[in-house]
Amino acid sequence: VVLLHLKVTASGLPKLRAFLGLSDVSISEDIPVEGDISMPPTSSSQDDGFSTLDEPVKDTVLRDLKAVGNKFVHVLYPKKSKALLRDWDLWGPLLLCVTLALLLQGGSVDSKDDGGPQFAEVFVIIWFGSLIITLNSKLLGGTISFFQSLCVLGYCIMPLTVAMVVCRIVLLGGSGTVSFVVRLVVVCASFGWSTFASTAFLADSQPQNRKALVVYPVFLFYFVIGWMILTFAPAQ
């Protein structure tokens, strides 16, 4: 609480008025120039009247896990719901990115140069790619916020991560033509699903004449991730 107290004596009032250039302005001499400037009490740090600081850790963790799981369900059935946008979080994208990068390891280790993407390369492509696409859509005048867009792009990698798991299981059975065709179909389907799910959320935030300009980078992003999954060659 800040308090500023102004008190002008009766003899000082004409001097003050003259100084302020209010000589010709008629002010009643009876009104005392006195007042308080006080700030309203700041809102307490407790949200909605209850404190989350005293609950057991298990509750906090479970609540976050439930939120993440809820968003996974929304990606699986991409209806136009606001849950992904309103309560964004980056736990899901981090989990998916680390899972995908770990699954893309263990590839052909004969020659380090000609192998698949390293862990850091996958990480950089996913996060840097999401960042570039978000910046692109913001620069084109999108109304979605920065972290909401990162959240949507990250969660929509989930179909591709599922495809990666399926591909690794298929590769356990052999790496012939049949397995390639199966992997191709699975990766194409999940790539289409990811692109469709993310455009369902992102395209709404753009004006009509720029939708294609925003959708194309998303298409390219998931295409590159799909390519990395499809070309994963296991060690012999």
| Interaction site with another protein (CB under 8 A) | 9, 11-12, 14-16, 18-19, 21, 23-24, 107-108, 110-111, 113-118, 121, 136, 138-141, 209-213, 216-217, 220, 223-224, 227-228, 231-233, 236
Quote the least distance from Cβ 140 to another protein, whole Å: 5
- Smallest gap from Cβ 227 to another protein, in A, equals 6
The rounded distance, in Å, linking the Cα atoms of 164 and 152 is 20
Least distance between another protein and beta carbon 128 (Å)? 11
* Ranges of H-type helices in 1-112: 12-19, 57-76, 83-86, 91-103
Whether 36 contacts 5, CB under 8 Å: yes
Give me the residues paired with residue 36 across strands. Answer: 5
Q: What is the DSSP letter of 20?
A: T
Give the 3-state secondary structure of residue 174: coil
Residue 12 CB, shortest distance to another protein, in Å, is 5
Please identify, using beta-carbon distances, which residue of 74 and 195 lies nearer to another protein: 195
Residue bearing tokens 């996913």: 126
Nearer to another protein, 115 or 192 (CB): 115
**CB closer to another protein, 185 vs 213:** 213
